[in-house]
Chains A and B, each alone.
Chain A
Amino acid sequence: MQLTEKEDAVLEVQLGATRSEGGTREVSYRIGGETKLPFTEAEPDRLLVALEICDETQFWPPVIREYVGDLADQPDEWAKTAERTWGADLVRLNFTSTKQRGFDDFPGITKTMEQVLAATSRPLIVEGSSEPELDSEVFRRCGEAGEGERLLLGTAEADRYRSVAAAALAYGHAVIAQSPIDINLAKQLNILLQETGVARDRIVIDPYTGALGYGFEYSYSVMERIRTAGLAGDADLAMPMISAATDALAVREVREAAAGDRDAMAVAWEFYTAFSALAAGASIVCVRHPMTVARLKNALAAMQPASGQKEV
């Protein structure tokens, strides 16, 4: 039984490049390619769990700072642990240092990029600049340091997308296109990006994910709408989606949990948000608590189709 009018597929986007593909990654991923809603077809879904890390932890949730301890000061070790110990499919590196007033350590960006790329074997998502004035230099540095690696570079927004698009074009990366919880704004931004020359199969939609209990219902429905529109043949929305519930660990329930319960609450809040985003059509979910990664990976492993899945 079909769930949509047409059997169009979500575009495939490649993340990362192996040596034979011109990069240095041990694996590369192809996300997208779905023709049906998540978990309803017989083939396995290509879903990924990314752990977010950052280069300046004063802007990071306290619950994570405490959990990761000394790793917080070493993005490369943090990234390595994310993949090898905590089981993340890939890492999302946030250059939170660019939030600091008067930031000018551009060489530091290049250095951190090189260190993290050397420490990880998987494709990398990079969240570069947080300041419009810094965009062009920061994205250039990130893009250049990862040339040939097919990074997923973020974030393009409607009123500031040229710098990140330019870096993606110049150095061969894919782009995260973020719009504030609205299917039309998502479509508009995708069109703008294509006009700058970014190919359709280099765009990953980020419809912005509100935290569970704090507007998540809008995010969930917008993801469902984007996915069903893409499957119904709207080419400008037929891109894979990424979901990062950035605010999930800033919510009252996590902050005010008793010290002994705080990790459990953080993980529950992230897990329910991320799992729901996957069910709504996201291809990559990004979380910050290492324990959430394992719980999501377990759930996804249990979701693999058994051979000869029964037709009900």
Chain B
Amino acid sequence: MKALEIYKLLPKTNCKKCGYPTCLAFAMKLAAGKADVELCPDLDPETKTLLGGATRPPIRLVKVGVGERSVTVGEEFVLFRHEKTFYHPPGIMVHISDTWPEEQVRTVAEDVRDSVVHRVGTDLMLDGIAIRNESGSPTQFAETVALVEACGDLPEVLIAADPAAHEAALAECGNFLPLIHAATDRNWRECAALAKRYGCPLAVRAGDVKTLTSLVRNCVGAGVPDLMLDIAPGSLREFIAAATRIRKAAIERTDPDLGYPIVFDTVPLGITDAALAAGVLKYAGIIVTEPLSPASMEAALTLRQNIYTDPQKPIQMTPGIYPVNEPGRDAPVLLSVNFSLTYFTLLGYLEASRIPCHLFVVDTEGLSVLTAVAGGKLTESLVAASIKQFSLNEKVDHRQLIIPGYAAPLSGKIEDETGWKVLVGPRDAAELAGYLEKEWRT
């Protein structure tokens, strides 16, 4: 619905009780899917229902857990990340069985709590624990949950078919908003009642859309608004196909009952890495996985970080002089651009070569060498100004500048403008080490 159509249905009193200065401002927020219709205290229930369906985000925002480590997923707007950012990275929950010995449960939970991957100034972590009721015993399930609770305030997924097991476990952790997994056509009444009592999010699970949507309607009707969808995939392929269809139906609002985050239990499929990657790439909100090796954890968290970056804002490096391998005053100076991809590629090869050098990054507004040269963003005057700005002449004793191979057409102009001797380096970063070994002389 457009903002003006929504506005016509609002009280037009500009009472500000919704937190916005005017009813029109509120209408515009609603139209953008950025506000909740419930904020208006004066709307009749009928209008609320009408507006709610049309204005709420296409995928409901759902939170699992409490506090610092809680995970919030949903509220996505597109099918492809080049159209607009993916906003809420999926929560990766590591599976624990209630048949495991205490020590194993504790080790896995502590590992999830403490493992950190440092990348590009960010700490990446796994998100929580999924506890599975494989023992068949509600008591044992509750005991395992208590054990995990004792390890810290990690978000939890409670996986059990038996509502009695959920009831026992929720007595331990219900106030910490675990995800209850899962309501099916057999047990949804009991599961929904428990989710309502504790205010927890609830997953509904069915292998076909018809059952899934009727479960959604039943659970919403029973007073549980925070739902997630489990499409019970029999294979990884079924997951990708079904998740893609559901995401598309949700963002196009063709089926409002599918407008919830997807939960993907990869454990029954038995192919951890592929399933984890597929979940990250293809629309999972919560992913349950086997415990991960350090290598898989690093790669999976890095993939998630990559996919959930803003495609419209390439990560740019701050211009300046970056020392690589502890360079001295006679080390070579390599001119480069502030496109982060160029920087990381260069850095990788240079660090591997162990050759000390200065990486001299100038501001091409995040463009690569080729595009910056073609688009006139990398020019002799920019190079001259940057040499002055970063006092390059005070950093080194020589006056030689190695420029990227793709910037070769600028070599003469840069020499004239800066007075520095210009050497044309290779076009491919992979060849830099060989080039420096052969060509660099002060």
Taking Cβ atoms with an 8 Å cutoff, the residues of A that contact B are: 1, 3, 37-41, 59, 99, 101, 130, 180-182, 210-218, 220-222, 224-225, 228, 246-247, 250-253, 255, 257, 261, 264-265, 267-269, 271-272, 275-276, 279-280, 295, 298-299, 302-306, 309-312
Measured between C-beta atoms, what is the minimum distance from B167 to chain A in Å? 30
- Which residue from A1, A99, A275, A306 sits with its C-beta under 8 Å from B245? A1
With a 10 A CB-CB cut-off, give which of A3, A99, A268 has the most chain B CB atoms: A268
User: Contact check: which of B236, B306, B434 meets A303 at CB < 8 Å?
Assistant: B236
Q: Would you list which residues of chain B between 229 and 281 have a CB under 8 Å from chain A?
A: 231, 234-238, 240-242, 244-246, 248-249, 269, 271, 273-274, 277-278, 281
**Chain A residues with CB under 8 A of B278:** 275, 279
A269 CA / B236 CA spacing, docked (Å) = 20
| Contact in complex: B352, A255 (CB < 8 Å) | yes
**Minimum Cβ distance to chain A for residue B173 (Å):** 31
B67 within 8 A of A: no
**Contact A215–B344 (Cβ < 8 Å):** yes
B171 near A: Cβ within 8 Å?
Answer: no
**A212 and B273 within 8 A (CB):** no
Q: Are A216 and B306 in contact (CB under 8 A)?
A: yes
B115 within 8 A of A: no
Asked if A312 meets B340 with Cβ closer than 8 Å, knowing A250-B348, A299-B271, the reply is no
Determine the chain B residues whose CB is within 8 A of the CB of A247 once the complex forms: 345, 348, 430
Q: Which of B119, B208, B249, B296 contacts A268 (CB 8 A)?
A: B296
Partner of B349 from the list A216, A250, A302 (CB cut-off 8 Å) is A250
Rank and list the top 7 A-B pairs by shortest CB-CB distance, nearest first: A215-B341, A312-B242, A299-B274, A268-B295, A268-B299, A214-B344, A221-B82
B144 lies within 8 A of chain A by Cβ: no
Q: List 26 A-B contacts (CB under 8 A).
A: A1-B248, A3-B79, A39-B236, A39-B240, A39-B241, A101-B438, A182-B371, A211-B345, A211-B348, A213-B306, A214-B345, A215-B340, A217-B309, A220-B306, A221-B311, A224-B82, A251-B348, A265-B299, A268-B296, A276-B281, A299-B274, A305-B235, A309-B235, A310-B208, A312-B207, A312-B208
A99, A251, A271: which contacts B273 (Cβ < 8 A)? A271
> Shortest CB–CB separation between residue B410 and chain A, in angstroms?
16
Q: Are A309's CB and B431's CB within 8 A? A: no
The complex places the Cα of A257 from the Cα of B296 at a distance, in Å, of 13
B82, A304: Cβ atoms under 8 Å?
A: no
Q: Across the interface, do A210 and B341 meet the contact criterion of CB distance under 8 Å?
A: yes
B302 within 8 A of A: yes
Task: Give Cα distance in the complex from A264 to B82, angstroms.
Answer: 31
Chain A's nearest CB lies how many Å from the CB of B117?
9
- Please state if A310 and B238 are interface contacts (CB–CB under 8 Å): yes
In whole angstroms, what is the CA distance A247 to B368 when docked? 17
B370 at interface by CB-CB < 8 Å: yes
Which residue of chain B lies nearest to A262 when distances are taken between CB atoms in the complex?
B295
Whether B244 contacts A279 by the Cβ 8 Å rule is: no
Chain B residues, CB < 8 A from A304: 237
**Complex contact A213–B207 (CB within 8 A):** no
List 11 additional A-B contacts (Cβ < 8 Å) besides A130-B431, A309-B237, A312-B242: A37-B244, A38-B240, A180-B368, A210-B345, A215-B341, A250-B349, A253-B298, A276-B303, A279-B281, A299-B274, A312-B241
Given A215-B344, A310-B207, the answer on whether A302 and B244 have CB atoms closer than 8 Å is: no
B375 at the interface (CB under 8 A from A): no
